[in-house]
Amino acid sequence: MATSATSKLLVSDFDSSVSHIPSNYVRPILDRPNLSEVESSGDSIPLIDLWELHGPNRIDIVQQLAIACSTYGFFQIKNHGVPDTTIDKILTVSREFFHQPESERVKHYSADPTKTTRVSTSFNIGADKILNWRDFLRLHCFPIEDFIEEWPTSPSSFREATAEYATGVRALVLRLLEAISESLGLESDHISNILGKHAQHMAFNYYPPCPEPELTYGLPGHKDPTVITVLLQDQVSGLQVFKDDKWVAVNPIPNTFIVNVGDQMQVISNDKYKSVLHRAVVNTENERLSIPTFYFPSTDAVIGPAHELINEQDSLAVYRTFPFVEYWDKFWNRSLATASCLDAFKASTT
């Protein structure tokens, strides 16, 4: 059974036919999820209400963002301005996409991480030595008109729902970047201005039920290559964040997003805000969907610590200035075996 199972391109085309996961998905004993030791988030991850971000209490919300970005690197947001109907449509259409016949889904299959629209599995199938229990559709979505003709046409509402969602989330991201800039003591347009023409990608992650979830990951611990990531998840728990030397489960709250600081924000903030280690685990009973929006500099942008955050007395530059494309190439030329590749961009101390 395992031989025929692993001949399939996607996990979701063999998961229901196996009672044990194939050996190339099994993690070494010291690199397993230890699900019994994971804590529940409770109230430990900040939930920020953006309702007053453009009102008289803006300074309070900006302060909450500063605390969340510096202390956690991860926070949840409500009253974010993306309509519930838009969110419902994208969750529905993404589930419909992964429930299509194998022949329809694999039309977009590619193991090439440079392709701007592709279906694949694991993280980077060409580099992963141990595979992850995850299928995904990844696509570029800014500017939408540059990429929409590549997107799937089935389900029939896919392009319309995805364009509407991507547009709404981008508007939210731009509001967040202004507020986060202010939280660092910078001009509100500072971060936006250094991102070049900007880039936005989405992933539709599908985690099928797994017969042995204690032996594998949906995605292992990693940090995001983004400026920020905005995550929508369904009501099945699976996201975990590393905080105070332990893994914490982030239980879904309806109509909220989870936002995390990415590596580029860590560089721009000169380590004031830290990119955070997180992972996805799977379970035996329920499929899980998550839809992260990854917001990046464009590949022609040059990234480095904001000059206003550096002085010769007590705040030297932690990172060198670098072309974003250099980081991007390094990120994709590896598996997720190393949590972050920022160490290669540290400023020289000599």
pTM of the model: 0.94
User: So what's the pLDDT on residue 45?
Assistant: 87
- d(CA 65, CA 162) in angstroms, rounded, equals 28
Render pLDDT for 308-334 as a digit per residue (tens, 0 to 9): 999 765 678 999 999 999 998 887 765
pLDDT confidence band for 1 (50 / 70 / 90): very low
- d(CA 137, CA 144) in angstroms, rounded, equals 16
How much of the chain, in percent, has pLDDT values that exceed 70? Answer: 94
Average pLDDT over residues 119-128: 80
Long-range contacts of 322-329 (CB under 8 A, 24+ apart): 324/196, 324/264, 324/296, 324/297, 324/298, 324/299, 324/300, 325/299, 325/300, 327/225, 327/263, 327/264, 327/303, 328/225, 328/296, 328/299
Does pLDDT of 4 surpass 60? Answer: no
Average pLDDT over residues 210-239: 95
User: So what's the pLDDT on residue 81?
Assistant: 96
Average pLDDT over residues 166-195: 98
pLDDT confidence band for 129 (50 / 70 / 90): confident
Render pLDDT for 241-263 as a digit per residue (tens, 0 to 9): 999 899 999 999 999 999 999 99
Question: What is the three-state SS of the chain?
Answer: CHHHHHCCCCHHHCHHHCCCCCHHHCCCHHHCCCHHHCEECCCCCCEEEHHHCCCCCHHHHHHHHHHHHHHCCEEEEECCCCCHHHHHHHHHHHHHHHCCCHHHHHHHECCCCCCCEEEEECCCCCCCCCCCCCEEEEEECCCHHHHHHHCCCCCCCHHHHHHHHHHHHHHHHHHHHHHHHHHCCCCCCHHHHCCCCCEEEEEEEEECCCCCHHHCCCEEEECCCCCEEEEEECCCCCEEEEECCEEEECCCCCCCEEEEECHHHHHHCCCCCCCCCEEECCCCCCCEEEEEEEEECCCCCEECCCHHHCECCCECCCECCEEHHHHHHHHHCCCCCCCCCHHHHECCCC
Average pLDDT over residues 280-293: 97
Does pLDDT of 349 surpass 90? Answer: no
Q: Which residues contact 206 (CB under 8 A, 6 or more apart)?
A: 12, 94, 98, 134, 135, 136, 287, 288, 289
Render pLDDT for 18-32 as a digit per residue (tens, 0 to 9): 999 999 999 999 999
